[in-house]
Structure 1
Amino acid sequence: MRLAETLVRLLTLIARLGAGLAFAVLIVTVLVQVVGRSTGQSPVWTEELTRFALLYLVAFGAGLSLRTGDLVNVDVISESLPGKLPWILRLVAAAATAALALYLLPHAWKYVTIGQMQTAPALGIRMTWAHLTVFILLAGLALFGLLRCVAMLSGAEDGTPVKPAEEE
């Protein structure tokens, strides 16, 4: 197996585990919240933890969505074009996504560091952990966008979305 394929599989696994863990935390927290409300003893921290879990779910899922084609796309137009144009548009879109995400990464990191000066009111944790989701989201988009560009230019992929094996 080539190094690039191994890297893609590893990044996909990390993103899936992150999204899965965030979803599990979201489910458990909402369950605690619902049970608590029915007994009149709903913990105040559940609202905040639910928001944080949702942020992490989106952060880890964005890169995966780019890879699987689940992000908003205009492929109805681009795929109807003649010849090599659809391939070129997919490459330009992946490169533009990666470039924008890479440009924003240092700014996102500054945003993360600002969180050290703030604390979440209910959980009492540093807001760095909430702000980190923006960095993770951009890093995932940049990595998966760059990997798509490399795969397209090397001929390993044509740039069309890659569905997970269980969806085929």
Structure 2
Amino acid sequence: MLRLESIFYTICRIGVGVSFLVLILTVLTQVLGRTFSSSPIWTEELTRFAMLYVVAFGAGLSLRSGDLVNVDVVCEQVPGEWPWRLRLLSAAITVALCAYLIPAAWKYVSIGAMQTSPAMTLRMDIVHFTVFGLLVTLLVFSVFRIYRMVVLGEDGKADVREELE
């Protein structure tokens, strides 16, 4: 399971990196285009699409690193095992909510197959996939957190090991 988590973590990091690179290059093209004449129309759309992919790949990573909005101030003030229980409950609710929303997100993706973007004429299911992907990454990283807490006996706090490397 830890090997699977490592693979998924690496895929998401690469996904964020590639998406961000596309975003940077597109914005650079847009700025240079506006500086010297007019920017290509497709840069507006591609910028939005790249940002959606950054968020889709990065949501699970943010959950893992603790960069998502948290209520640690409240949770860490309760006595005993309650902080651990609340972190476990939070991860379980995240799994349940994502599992509930994934079928609707897939329907949203499938509707996009019948649409195209105006400037790039890109099939919108490729863009709408980001909503599905975001839910999947949150679900998977929440399952990994639950596994680490229940099976490996970890405390469920954010993983800050990457910051030390």
Classify the TM-score, shorter chain: over 0.9
Query: 2:62 maps to what in 1?
Result: 65
Query: 2:4 maps to what in 1?
Result: 7
Structure 2 runs not aligned, ≥5 long: none
SS at match of 1:117: coil
Regions of 4+ moved over 6 Å? none
TM-score scaled by length of structure 2: 0.97
Query: 1:92 maps to what in 2?
Result: 89
1:123 to 117, 120, 125: 120
| Backbone CA RMSD of aligned residues | 0.8
Counterpart residue identity of residue 105, structure 2: A
CA distance in 2, matches of 1:111, 1:127: 10
CA distance in 2, matches of 1:76, 1:137: 26
Counterpart residue identity of residue 157, structure 2: T
Structure 1 runs not aligned, ≥5 long: none
CA distance in 2, matches of 1:52, 1:30: 12
Kindly indicate whether residue 39 of structure 2 is the aligned counterpart of residue 49 of structure 1: no
1:150: how far off?
Answer: 1.3
Counterpart residue identity of residue 53, structure 1: A
Give the stretch that moved more between structures: 152-161 or 19-28. Answer: 152-161
Percent identical: 55
Instruction: Please list, as runs of the form range in 1=range in 2, the aligned pairs for 1:73-92 lying within 5 A after superposition.
Output: 73-92=70-89
Instruction: Please list, as runs of the form range in 1=range in 2, the aligned pairs for 1:4-43 lying within 5 A after superposition.
Output: 4-43=1-40
Query: 2:158 maps to what in 1?
Result: 161
Output one character per residue of 1:76-131: Cα deviation in whole Å (capped at 9) or x when no partner.
Answer: 11011100000000000001011100111111000000001110000111000110
Count the aligned residue pairs: 164
